[in-house]
Structure 1
Amino acid sequence: MQYMLLIYSDEQDWTEEEREHCFAESTELSHELNERGQFVSASRLQSVTTATSVRVRDGQRMVTDGPFAETREQLGGYFIVEAKDLNEAIAIAGRIPSARKGTVEVRPVVELAGLPSR
């Protein structure tokens, strides 16, 4: 089963050196997961200052700058992994470097039939 590991933290909590070290550790983890056949995808997101939110209400599209919610922690990246169960996904989430400063949310991915594949 696939799990999405959503990485949240306060962007202001990271020094540039810490951020670079985190990326290096995350890349290493990605390669290890790939060797075990568990890696699907991972990426860092650009700063929350680049976010745009889109809502449609009563047929009208509303576009606003910034994230949808004002929170202390922002979505900063993600991993999508193959795991046999939630416990294995949680173990992987605990190895993501950002878990030491922020939060990693673990969510099962619903597989939808009929979607295009890469």
Structure 2
Amino acid sequence: MRYLMLILTDPDLEAPEETPVPIEQWVEEAYGTGRAVTGDRLRPAAEATTVRRRRREVIVSDGPFAEAYELIGGFDVLECDTLDEAVELASRHPMATAGVIQLHPAWPLDL
């Protein structure tokens, strides 16, 4: 099953504890075993663009639509057999300690 792993900052976190592994080791473990498929850091929220369609009109605005999106710093797409496996992999990412990780199961299109 595929999971979108969102990597978020936590503005309320005062002093993060030491991470379980350095990011380079996490990348090697996740991508080296094929459990991570793709991922990247994101540019700052100020560089984002929001696109909506309302009443047949395309509305484009600068920045994220919701304030929460300002906290997203990156993403990875995981390929794991179970949610437990995805949680274990996500829990080792340094931002699980220094920020927040969200796992969203993919809902494949039936085309």
CA contact (8 A) 2:8 2:99 kept: yes
Alignment pair present for 1:6 and 2:3 = no
Separation (CA, whole Å) in 1 of partners of 2:68 and 2:33: 35
AA aligned opposite 2:7: I
User: What TM-score, normalized to structure 1?
Assistant: 0.75
* Alignment root-mean-square deviation, CA: 2.5
AA aligned opposite 1:2: R
Separation (CA, whole Å) in 2 of partners of 1:98 and 1:46: 17
User: What TM-score, normalized to structure 2?
Assistant: 0.79
CA deviation vs aligned residue, 1:44-101 (integer Å, no higher than 9, x gap):
0001110111111001111111111123861111111111111111111111111222
AA aligned opposite 1:95: R
Separation (CA, whole Å) in 1 of partners of 2:49 and 2:69: 18
Give 1:1-118 correspondences, 5 Å limit.
Answer: 1-10=1-10, 25-71=22-68, 74-114=71-111
Superposition misfits of 4+ residues, deviation over 3 angstroms: none
In 2 relative to 1, CA 44–8 (structure 1 residues): closer, same or farther, beyond 3 Å?
same
Any gaps of 5 or more consecutive residues in structure 2?
14-18
* Deviates further, 102-111 or 41-50: 102-111
CA contact (8 A) 1:10 1:72 kept: no
SS of the aligned residue for 2:27 comes to helix
Tell me which residue corresponds to 1:18.
none
The structure that is helix-richer by fraction is 1
Any gaps of 5 or more consecutive residues in structure 1?
14-21
Percentage identity across paired residues of the two chains: 35
